[in-house]
Chains A and B, each alone.
Chain A
């Protein structure tokens, strides 16, 4: 792995540790309001100050990072499941199934995603479940393409043909012999997918269609911050910096993994 990729992995480990263990050590609940102390600056009790309702910013940041990371990972898992299913079935079955599924994939790629996301949120109502569903439903296409390519490439390989002639049933053939070959590319897609999911989550939560207050997420912390940008600009800085750092790290990790797993791309 490249040095940049390794550094990204270290940054992600630190941030994940903070998000998971931080709330255990910094025990002020993120929902506790304190009307007497709204938009306060840094102090011993609140090292990063408080927001417009007097809630502790450090606590909200730690919990928000946790929520954002979990939503990002869950959405990525949804996208990868759909993508693997569509890509593997299309590549393995070929013929009409292939044509229909892959044209559907192309169609989904051409639809302006963000408008369609709003359609889904209108239909299902905002919330974490909708968020995971909608991000998964709109980001499985690149995964499907990758898996499709790998399935096409490996289904004629000798060891697969051998398995076929031994009478291995199709689902087992896919699961045991073909899909494992796609794991390196899948790991790369999944890493980059988390970055995309986190960016989408934060944008939707910022627009008040995602994670709903009082539960904090890095995106919805920025929702109110814009209103107070004149009086308390730091409120807008912290969550944005964390999002940028996390997404940057996932992107670098994805690139690093790709270079490590595919030597041809190193140039």
Chain B
């Protein structure tokens, strides 16, 4: 692969804007939580002695101005120190580090599932546009966008765990068993539920992109020069329709991570989302702030990967 100047410029711009997004997310979160009426300032209302309060204020650095605290926190964060969790007194990086792989597994599985189902479904709908199959699949997409994630989870638990008893309803592994197969079994329901948050969108993107491409002159040319329909579809329709779809995938990652919070709650999946819920319930400010920043970083990182894939699929970005 020839790496052209254009590609480097393109990727540099994406890295820079990604870094800006992370800084933006961290500032927004930090200032909001520190200025909110129920924020850390509410230690003033805690039922504690004057000395304890004094110690807490010192420990959390509340005697300094907010901007200074943000700069100190941000420099710490760059060095890999996100502070200490108020609930457990463990370093925030450690608590997040324990949970991050579970969320990445869940979100990654759901994303792969959505892409590998969404692209063929959308393509088939475009090729059979207007047919009963197209209408039925469109209706399913519409339902998928309307069903609340957590409710789909509950319904699937009802069907597969309660009635049929074929799949587990909670956790990453069984209590006594921890084999690869066991983990895979625990992953099925949460991954399917989480996939439902982005799959309908991918199907719709793919359908309209492929319909667009099917109208192009080069498709008519390819068909009229006698290429087998299969080759026209795989080499001309699919490749060209993928370009806008892939570039839109990155924008779905924040939604996927948001869906992960709810999915993890339904399936007791020990990931970042459940950690965020615990942090919000326990008013663990350092933890919830850092989690938002980490989630933003994961979203930015995935978007960058998607952009890399984009430079591979669209030769116009690559050559130049």
Min distance, Cβ B130 to any Cβ of chain A, angstroms: 11
Write the residues of chain B forming the contact surface with A, with a CB cutoff of 8 angstroms.
20-21, 24-25, 28-29, 32-33, 36-39, 142-143, 145-151, 154-155, 157-158, 162, 251, 253-255, 257-259, 261-262, 265-266, 273, 276-277, 279-281, 283, 285, 288-289, 291-292, 295-296, 298-300
Contacting residues, chain B, for A195 (C-beta < 8 A) = 146
* Docked-complex contact B262 and A112, CB < 8 angstroms: no
Interface residues on A, range: 35 or more
Min distance, Cβ A259 to any Cβ of chain B, angstroms: 14
Q: Roughly how many angstroms separate A251 CA and B204 CA in the complex, as a whole number?
A: 14
Q: Roughly how many angstroms separate A106 CA and B288 CA in the complex, as a whole number?
A: 22
Q: Roughly how many angstroms separate A119 CA and B288 CA in the complex, as a whole number?
A: 6
A119-B288, A122-B285, A207-B262 known; A110 vs B151 contact (CB < 8 Å): no
Point out the residue from B142, B145, B285, B292 that lies within 8 Å of A112, measured CB to CB: B292
Other than A207-B261, A207-B265, A240-B147, give 9 A-B pairs with Cβ distance below 8 A.
Answer: A110-B24, A111-B28, A111-B292, A112-B253, A115-B258, A115-B292, A116-B28, A195-B146, A245-B146
Contacting residues, chain B, for A244 (C-beta < 8 A) = 143, 146-148, 151
Q: Which stretch (A79-87, A172-180, A226-234) binds chain B? A: A226-234
Q: Roughly how many angstroms separate A110 CA and B258 CA in the complex, as a whole number?
A: 12
* Docked-complex contact B33 and A243, CB < 8 angstroms: no
* Docked-complex contact B254 and A123, CB < 8 angstroms: no
Q: Roughly how many angstroms separate A203 CA and B260 CA in the complex, as a whole number?
A: 12
A169-196 vs B: 1/0 string, CB under 8 Å?
Answer: 0000000000000000000000000010
Contacting residues, chain A, for B37 (C-beta < 8 A) = 123-124
Please report whether the interface of chain A is mostly helix, strand, loop or mixed according to DSSP.
Answer: helix
In the complex, A120 has a CB within 8 A of chain B? yes
* Docked-complex contact A243 and B148, CB < 8 angstroms: yes
When C-beta atoms are compared, the residue in chain B nearest to A248 turns out to be: B146
Q: Roughly how many angstroms separate A123 CA and B30 CA in the complex, as a whole number?
A: 11
Min distance, Cβ A252 to any Cβ of chain B, angstroms: 7
Q: Roughly how many angstroms separate A202 CA and B147 CA in the complex, as a whole number?
A: 11
In the complex, A140 has a CB within 8 A of chain B? no
A124-B37, A244-B146 known; A119 vs B295 contact (CB < 8 Å): no
Contacting residues, chain B, for A236 (C-beta < 8 A) = 151, 154-155, 158
* Docked-complex contact A113 and B283, CB < 8 angstroms: no
Min distance, Cβ B289 to any Cβ of chain A, angstroms: 7
Min distance, Cβ A232 to any Cβ of chain B, angstroms: 11
A199-B148, A251-B146 known; A112 vs B257 contact (CB < 8 Å): yes
In the complex, A206 has a CB within 8 A of chain B? yes
Min distance, Cβ A124 to any Cβ of chain B, angstroms: 6
Min distance, Cβ A178 to any Cβ of chain B, angstroms: 28
* Docked-complex contact A203 and B296, CB < 8 angstroms: no
Contacting residues, chain A, for B143 (C-beta < 8 A) = 244, 248
Point out the residue from A113, A115, A222 that lies within 8 Å of B276, measured CB to CB: A115
A118-B288, A240-B154 known; A111 vs B36 contact (CB < 8 Å): no
Q: Roughly how many angstroms separate A123 CA and B85 CA in the complex, as a whole number?
A: 16
* Docked-complex contact A110 and B150, CB < 8 angstroms: no
